Amino acid sequence: MPERRTVALVTLGCARNEVDSEELAGRLEADGWQLVEDAAEADVAVVNTCGFVEAAKKDSVDALLEANDLKDHGRTQAVVAVGCMAERYGKELAEALPEADGVLGFDDYADISDRLQTILSGGIHAAHTPRDRRKLLPISPAERQEAGTAVALPGHGPADLPEGVAPASGPRAPLRRRLDGAPVASVKLASGCDRRCSFCAIPSFRGSFISRRPSDVLNETRWLAEQGVKEVMLVSENNTSYGKDLGDIRLLESLLPELAEVDGIERVRVSYLQPAEMRPGLIDVLTSTPKVAPYFDLSFQHSAPGVLRAMRRFGDTDRFLELLDTIRSKAPQAGVRSNFIVGFPGESEADLAELERFLTGARLDAIGVFGYSDEEGTEAATYENKLDQDVVDERLAHISRLAEELVSQRAEERLGETVRVLVESVDAEEGVFGRGEHQAPETDGQVRLTDAEGLAVGRIVEAKVVGTEGVDLVAEPLTGAFAWSEETGR
């Protein structure tokens, strides 16, 4: 019997890419490929790239070069680029990076097995010429659902699944294969974005906004619960727009309680919310529904009105602070995070001071700060009033220091609070770590649990915050606070 072909998936970038990688894994496993964790043990290394900002693109190139080096030392015979960078640059990336044996776009995902087999056999699959994916769907959101069936939408998955994609999961099995055993997993809520922020190129290569049907989201969540997942995080480019192309802009408000009732799921988290699209009803559901985390990943980007208008965004410091006051009036312990761009073209000293005013008053749990850089194909790249790079760097360093101080202060405000922690790692030497409801995976810090003997990964425990370590918390489990046990399933 011939040896099975082996493939390793290396994922960079955001949680949306992680979902896409698990879709590719499901397709490949269903077609007979053996998935391995170590790229050095794989016939083909597939690198799911990020194409958002320069730093992420550099990391993607580095990962491709590192995988290429394995061809001289390990089993690896081919290295293939997929993901946003591959979709965004196509032939240009293939020509600039001959070390990649293939550059595959989103349209290749449905035939990923054939594409890899061709490349592994020494054949060539020509890289695509990039196109503006916003033009693939109708302008009117109401007309997109039917048209969307003919457009590649990574992470959405078809209804006619290949046999064996998700063993023992019944008819609700998604086109997906988990690549780790973590108790948290992301679920695609939608793809694409209709906003036209002047600094962002994502809509051009991810396309216009299109929602997944609620039944698909629910079925995938049920399947993940069967795989042992305790927390699902809903991801897309803009979750607040969910349902607008299905005829119900408030669809998220009705979907969240249904997701929270899925057997085995202990926490539902929503990521990436647009401040300008926040609705009172959505705030109510996020702050009052059992098992739905009162967590707000709000894309503020700045708070000075002039900068926001140049970004093609809305709001200002006072409106944003009012929004946060509304949230905390309903859920005082709610978690809030955001990202900000400093050094945007035309940003004045007064604008920077306005941003400082907002950050100081916002009491955010996590803050990401980025220095502006041109992204080709964006409106902002054509602006003339660019700041010198040394000014951008200075402002980035200044706001980053302020952000670090502020999130540490916010963590200290939580001293004495009771937090519901999902245990994610248990190590005899390093200790027990997890996340509270106000902390998303990877980005928002963690909780170190003391006196936590006997805890297992996947357990939910209530604990009292007794200390801080920067943005991280230190907490002691409360007596009888184990909300779920891996041994009993309760």
Phi, psi of 136 (to 5 degrees): -85, -15
The CA–CA distances, whole Å, from 69 to 78, 99, 417, 425 equal 10, 9, 49, 31
Q: Is residue 190 within 8 Å of residue 242, measured between CB atoms?
A: yes
Q: Which residues have a Cβ under 8 Å from the Cβ of 479 and sit 6 or more positions away? A: none
Q: Is 423 annotated as a binding residue?
A: no
Residue 232 burial by Cβ neighbours in a 10 Å radius (0-12, 13-18, 19+): buried
DSSP string covering 140-202, please? SGGGHHHHHTTS--TTT--SSPPTTSSTT-GGG--S---SS--SEEEEE-EE------TT--H
Give dist(CA 234, CA 252) in Å, integer: 10
Q: Is 200 annotated as a binding residue?
A: yes
The CA–CA distances, whole Å, from 331 to 251, 279, 437 equal 22, 16, 12
Q: Is 14 annotated as a binding residue?
A: yes
Q: Is residue 149 within 8 Å of residue 223, measured between CB atoms?
A: no
DSSP string covering 276-291, please? GG--HHHHHHHHHSTT
Give dist(CA 42, CA 36) in Å, integer: 6
**Residue 280 token pair:** 């009172």
Helix (H, G, I), strand (E, B) or coil at 339: strand
Return the C-alpha torsion angle 440, 442, 445, 449, nearest 10: 90
**Residue 119 token pair:** 């490349």
With vertex at residue 127, the alpha carbon angle to CA 126 and CA 133, rounded to the nearest 5 degrees, is 135
Q: Is residue 401 within 8 Å of residue 359, measured between CB atoms?
A: no
Q: Is 26 annotated as a binding residue?
A: no
Give dist(CA 39, CA 7) in Å, integer: 7
Q: Is 212 annotated as a binding residue?
A: no
Torsion sign (Cα): 23, 294, 247, 205 = negative
Give dist(CA 223, CA 168) in Å, integer: 10
Q: Is 84 annotated as a binding residue?
A: yes
* Residue in the block written with tokens 């496993």: 29
The conformation of residue 292, written as its DSSP 8-state character, comes to B
Element (DSSP H or E) covering residue 17: helix 15-30
Binding annotation for [4Fe-4S] cluster:
14, 50, 84, 193, 197, 200
Binding annotation:
14, 50, 84, 193, 197, 200
